[in-house]
Structure 1
């Protein structure tokens, strides 16, 4: 049971990191948004955006919808 949990947890962490990297890539390649400007657009702190992009936090669906809208992409695009 513990091994299963560790594998599941590792998979979740990898997915969160990939999500953050994809958000950063879209932000940098498709917009002129800095992390600060994106934060203002989605009503989050710059630190929260930084943590999302580094995969250090698991954003809610609501937050992901706001980010997708600000980046002018569909939410599914954030998942690579």
Structure 2
């Protein structure tokens, strides 16, 4: 996660307290949650206390283990939310991939993200919940998206919808950064 230090600290504390609340609602011990997520008990405890900054991969594993959308870990109480590019939290999914959470509607199981993929980089997300639908729109640049065994080339403003629980990989084979808008619907 990257943003200014005060924002980062607040967000890490928010993720920690939300994780603790969700875990208790589901009546899970840290040990039981660790078994469900593949994230160690120690790391989960550190996240809940706000002592560590979780990676996007860890957060996917946790959301999958709790059977909640990723954005449930980042919920906000504000009625009106504004997302400005580069101004909020940013998560790295590995070399060349940055994702900014935009908005979520937990009652609808919906999360929206802005993603940036550097030139000549590839990103393979953690497996999503079964029945998850993903919609990707290329806002600038172009990408190759492989879903299962099929590869699709998407240019600026092209959109694609697919079952996100299937293995998929985003690849930027161009010499410029690609910007994507992602909408993920959890059923």
Task: Give TM-score scaled by structure 1 length.
Answer: 0.83
Equivalent residue, structure 2, for 1:62: 57
Whole-angstrom distance in 1 between the partners of 2:73 and 2:10: 14
List alignment gaps of at least 5 residues for structure 1.
1-7
Higher-RCO chain (CA-CA 8 Å, sequence separation at least 6): 1
Higher gyration radius (CA): 2
The runs of 4+ residues in structure 1 deviating greater than 2 Å are none
2:38 maps to which of 28, 32, 43: 43
Q: Does 1:22 align with 2:18?
A: yes
- 1:32 alignment partner, SS class: coil
Structure with greater proportional strand content: 2
Whole-angstrom distance in 2 between the partners of 1:70 and 1:42: 5
C-alpha RMSD of the superposition: 0.9
Per-residue CA shift, 1:19-38, capped at 9, x if unaligned? 11001101111x12101111
Whole-angstrom distance in 1 between the partners of 2:35 and 2:54: 16
Structure with greater proportional helix content: 1
Per-residue CA shift, 1:7-53, capped at 9, x if unaligned? x2122111101111001101111x12101111111112211110011
